[in-house]
Structure 1
Amino acid sequence: MSLLKLEHVTKRFGGLTAVSDFNLDLQEGELVGLIGPNGAGKTTIFNLITNTYLVSEGKIILGGKDITGMKTDKITAEGIARTFQNIRLFSELTAFDNVRTACHLRLKSSVLSAVFGLPGYRKEEKEIDDKAMALLKTLDLEKYKNDLAGSLPYGLQRKLEISRALATNPKVLLLDEPAAGMNPEETLALAALILRIRKEFNLTVLLIEHDMSLVMTICERIIVLDHGVTIAHGLPKEIQNNPEVITAYLGTGDLYA
């Protein structure tokens, strides 16, 4: 079943076309990689999906609903969550409070009930606390719950950002270079984590990543961009052996260079 579709999506910045006629049909439960050299337009596509950038042409459809131009918070509420190439955490809040903040997206109680501490609000707050703690446990972050996010090692900050994204109850998870800055051991653990949370949380995942070993290991199919244009789309083995992809991506003849 098609969950997220991008139809002929184009983004122009003045006279520059950053993404041209991009199409995506992401099936429910899939894990798809989006790769390409720096400046290919990968993160721009994430920004278009979440309406950080306005679409110049085309449509974005989630579960049959046109979400093109919808406000970013509404898109999150519809079921799309993302992480960022440059980690965006509340560095002066604890790990626990970072996740709690994201949980509040689903808060149903009114401001008035919060001000007066009514039973319904207190019940929801307890549920949010329990959910935040459960997410920290899921990502093996429980012992860091009282640590400031900004004080955590880089790899743990990456995991915390994923935990915060999961707190919004997404259907689609957009991961923007989650392995950036990680060593091979951490990257291997990340691959296992992505596969585990996809299953546990019934997620559909779109992954931007430069670490080709990670992409080729966990992605079921791969889309390749170059200068905003899709130049290839296929199974990992097909992409790995595609001469045009190798030349465009690195110009070295070695996709793993």
Structure 2
Amino acid sequence: MPLRQTATAMALALFAGPAPAQDAAELIGDAGRGAQIYRSCVTCHQIGPGAENRTGPHLNGIFGRRAGSVEGFDYSDAMDRAHGDGLTWDYARLDAYTENPRALVSGTRMSFRGIKDAQDRHDVLAYLRQFTASPQDIPESAPTAILREVDLPPEVLAIVGDAEYGEYLASECLTCHKRDGSDEGIPSIVAWRAEDFVVAMHAYKQKLRPHPVMQMMAGRLNDEEIAALAAYFEDLD
């Protein structure tokens, strides 16, 4: 499932009830296979006994950990903002972040482009899960359970936004975000790819992204208005 579907689907899933208790491997994925996939990550992120920070922070205890909270690691401004917003690494957010880091945390300096295959992500997260305290005891409970997914309707993803209408709507956005694309404590949204903008706004709308003001703003917008804003800011230079 593409990120634009997965991120919003997982966001909706946060408010669904937990899945029935099942075998942990069935709930999440194949940890052995995930360890093999994770080999491409170890140059930046260590995990396991003696793990240290490298280019990225260590990933021991990642489930349930607040973003940007590993002591001694110099995080990007974007991750510091996510920390201030209260972003916490539960399963839904880890899944969305590993699929496309920049769609969940705008401006992250993590250059990794993401794992597009859903099963690959589930397997990697099953591997990471082994390094959170006693995960085998809580296969159906937070912070590592997979909740029921609700798909974003495909017709929402197919909306072609009206950029002129988006310009009309954008005045409220531009009270904080800069029209010239500068980043002064608030991430730039100029020249975003439209689909990334739509994903981010739906993530706020469904409370996957934790910023309360943006949750309120996105909650006021319907699907056509979000698409219109996305079209406007994509072409803004």
On whether the aligned pair clears a TM of 0.5, the verdict is: no
Using the size of structure 2 for normalisation, the TM-score is: 0.30
Higher Cα radius of gyration: 1
Greater helix fraction, Structure 1 or Structure 2: 2
Using the size of structure 1 for normalisation, the TM-score is: 0.28
